[in-house]
Structure formats: structure tokens, C-alpha cells
Amino acid sequence: MVELLAARGLDSSDEWIVERTGIRNRHFVADGMQASDLAFQACRAALAAAGLKVSDIDLIVLATSTPDMVFPSTATILQHKLTQAALAEGDASGAGGAAFDVQAVCSGFIYALTVADSLIKTGTATKALVVGAEVFSRILDFNDRTTCVLFGDGAGAVVLEACEHDGSGAGILASDIHADGKHTGILCVPGTVCGGAVLGDPLLKMDGQAVFKLAVGVLEDAARAVLAKAGKTEADVDWLVPHQANIRIMQSTARKLKLPMDKVVVTVDQHGNTSAASIPLALDHAVRGGLVKPGQTVLMEGVGGGFTWGAVLVKM
């Protein structure tokens, strides 16, 4: 990371970055790779873990702020890629059902999970792929040290499905999502496309201090709200899986909730802030690593530009 910054004339060091952010490594996509390509790999891994085929899926909700195109949605592009791969492997029907994007920046996965849960509960879908996928390297200003050291590319996915109650109480216990547009300016990409040209600035802008102050407060509020909805307390939480934005935000949130850091899943050191992808990446790391186990209660929460925030409480 430091070599990349030095090549662009920015003064920094590993110590400076790690102390302020907790980030040691990030991953950037190769030229020509899109969010749907990362999402495709994440979905294949999620389906394999769930023991399902692409044809079992009847809903795709994809959270991203860095879509492949203006339209159609990256979710439909992902659906096509999954279907083509399934057909090549003999799964004759491929992926069907609804597919759409959710744009809530770093809260995107929480929003997407809440939407998919609601659609399943109404009977609109039975098995959903819920995905977070980002290529933030394409919207970074590498002359701005306050932002370019933070963000990376990545994708994560989970399968959410309807099931009969078996007495275990497993599933999504409660969710809580919010937004307040008056904070738009503290974290945004103030550009758009018009007549074939870019209007405004297409690179990420952030007021770091304002974001930190707001994030810590709303994350505590969302966590307490979702626990109250589920009739739970902080003592019932086995694991906190927060948006991997900055180690200091995660530490502050844990202190406010009186949770020790050994109950917090931290992966920001491995991939930086991957926006909507960071929570599913952290959850995947914790499940595959044997930290999060069936029967445990997991609190996931995120905050992002918009300003958006939210939390989901799950019993695994």
C-alpha cells in the first residue's frame, strides 16, 4: 500500500495507516473486472456452502455503489453469469425470479438482507442470494491521503431461505434501518453522467471527522434498537460483525455496547473498507474460521453515505 502511495507522491507509512485505520492489506480488481465478476465468485462460494444449485435461487438482491453499468442492475448481470455457468455444468434451468440492486453504500448489505428477509416472509421468494460487491478502487482519488488509504474491492454473499420453525429459533430475529439525507455532503461521490460526459466530480469525498462522530452514535442506536425489537440485550450477543470501516469506529461502538473486542469480528486489516461487501466478507471469515457457530446470536451493523445506517440480529 505504501509503495502505491509513494509512487503517486503521497507521504505516508505503514505505521501511520495501521495506527489510524487498522488496515494492513487491500485488494484492487484487475482492469476489465467488474462488481458482477466479484459477486459471481462470492455467490458460487455461498451456494456451495449451502449445498444449493443456481436453479434453487428465486431472488437476488445485490448491494453496490459501484455498479457495472448505469442500467441494467448489476444483479441482473450477475443472474445471467450464474445462469450461464449453471447451464455449462448441466443445471438446465439456471437462475430465475427477481433480481435488483440496493444502493445504500456501506449499509447496503444490511439493507439488502432486510429487503430479502421481508420478501421471503411475504412468500414472494423462497431462497435468496444476498450479495455485497464493490470496486471502490475505480472511484478513489489517489491524491487524497485521507480517503485513498481506506477503501478496497471485494464481494461477499449469503443464502437466505424460508424454513419451517424447528424450535431452534434460528433466522433473522429483527432488523432496523434508517437514513438521513441532510448528511449527504460528508460522504459522497458528487458526479453524474449527462450527454456522454461526466458532470461534477466522480471521485469519493469524505469529511472523516464528521463521519466518525456520526457513525459511532447511530451504530449504537441501531444496535440497541434491533436488540429491543428482538427482546434481547447486549449480554445475548455472541458476536458483533460490524461494517469494516475503521478499527477506531469498531472499538468505540464495542465500548458503547459493553462488548469486549474478543466478541467483535475484525477483518479490516485484511481488506480495508470494502463498503457493502465488508459485512458479508467478515461473516464468511468468521463462519469458515469456526468462530461463529450454529445457535449463536450475531449482531451485524453498518453505516454509510446517504447518510444510511442499520442493524440486523441473526440467530445462526
Which amino acid, 39? A
Which helix (H) or strand (E) element contains residue 66? none
Active-site residue flag, 188: no
Catalytically annotated residue among 183, 243, 271, 285? 243
Q: Which three cell numbers stand for residue 223?
A: 444496535
Catalytically annotated residue among 106, 148, 183, 188? 106
Question: Can you say how many angstroms the Cα of residue 262 is from the centroid of all Cα atoms in its chain?
Answer: 21
Task: Name the nearest CA neighbour of 269 among 289, 302, 248, 247.
Answer: 247
| Bridge-based pairing state of the strands 59-63 and 197-200 | unpaired
Contact 120, 128 (CB under 8 A): yes
Which amino acid, 61? V
Catalytically annotated residue among 183, 188, 246, 273? 273
DSSP class of residue 124? S
Which residues are 197's β-sheet partners? 194
Which amino acid, 268? V
Active-site residue flag, 273: yes
Active-site residue flag, 25: no
Q: Annotated active-site positions, please? A: 106, 243, 273
